[in-house]
Amino acid sequence: MEKDMIVNGVNFNITNAELFKHSVEGIQKSIATPKSFFCSDNIISWNRNLSFMTDSSFMQLVQRHATSDIEMAIIWRTYVLCYFARLATHLPGDFLEVGAYQGNTANVIADWIDIESSDKKYWLYDAFEHTGIEANHALPGHSPELFEEVKKRFRNYKSIHVIKGHVPNSFSQGFPESIAFAHIDLNQAPAEVATLERVLPILTPGGIIVLDDYGWHGYRAQKEAEDPLLARFGLSALELPTGQGLVIKPL
């Protein structure tokens, strides 16, 4: 007999309710085989290969550059970034991260693609401190010393340029002529839109943008501001299960 069942406001008929039950049973089984189970960074998934978790070179790299548990928590996002960054090394243009914070993710990417043996520059931008008036929220690592600490972190990387200040104004201190890969992670819409206004016209064909906050409901204002801008350039973002938005400029 058909029955209705409401789960999180969604009306399931009996067929969907059976699917839901099947999924819950899948979770139960996966807990018994934890290698296929991932629960972190607002993702609960089961019955997955989680290939990155068995890639020892990737796991060691993330662990080497981690400064807190957060880097392990967001590891699926980092895996996505590393995959696309490596793909972008074959394209003309530089790399950039807008919203680099302590440089953890940039450090993993730089080593994953061996940036020093490439012809690329990697531009890192951040305010590095928080005065209380910014549209983005403060983070525990923000401080007047953070800029110097990040510069020190990358002192042996000739290709990495660390630029302090509020974007987009800080772009006047240095900005690439063409871009192969951009990671944009500012936790606020106005500066991200201003960044995209600069990035999109010089994105190389095949070039890749990863928008860290695009799929997060709490940062929905960013998606809403960015979708029309991307559309103006004939582009759109693919919302990934990690919450990232992936934009690839067609060749």
Q: What is the binding site for ligand SAM (CB under 6 A)?
A: 97, 99-101, 104-105, 125-127, 134, 136, 139, 166-167, 185-188, 191
Query: How near is the Cβ of 74 to ligand SAM at its closest, in Å?
Result: 7
- How far apart CA 38 and CA 30 sit, in angstroms, is 9
Query: How near is the Cβ of 48 to ligand SAM at its closest, in Å?
Result: 23
**Residue 168 and residue 191 in contact, taking contact as beta carbons nearer than 8 Å:** yes
Query: How near is the Cβ of 176 to ligand SAM at its closest, in Å?
Result: 17
The one-character DSSP state at 170 is G
Name which of 30 and 104 has its Cβ closer to ligand SAM. 104
Name which of 38 and 101 has its Cβ closer to ligand SAM. 101
- How far apart CA 32 and CA 50 sit, in angstroms, is 16
Name which of 30 and 243 has its Cβ closer to ligand SAM. 243
C-alpha angle with apex 216: 170 to 91, nearest 5 degrees?
Answer: 55
- How far apart CA 159 and CA 155 sit, in angstroms, is 10
Name which of 71 and 200 has its Cβ closer to ligand SAM. 71
Query: How near is the Cβ of 58 to ligand SAM at its closest, in Å?
Result: 16
Query: How near is the Cβ of 128 to ligand SAM at its closest, in Å?
Result: 6
Element (H, E) at 201: none
Two tokens, residue 54: 């068995």
Q: How many CB atoms lie within 10 A of CB 165?
A: 15
Q: How many CA atoms lie within 13 A of 219 on its CB side?
A: 23
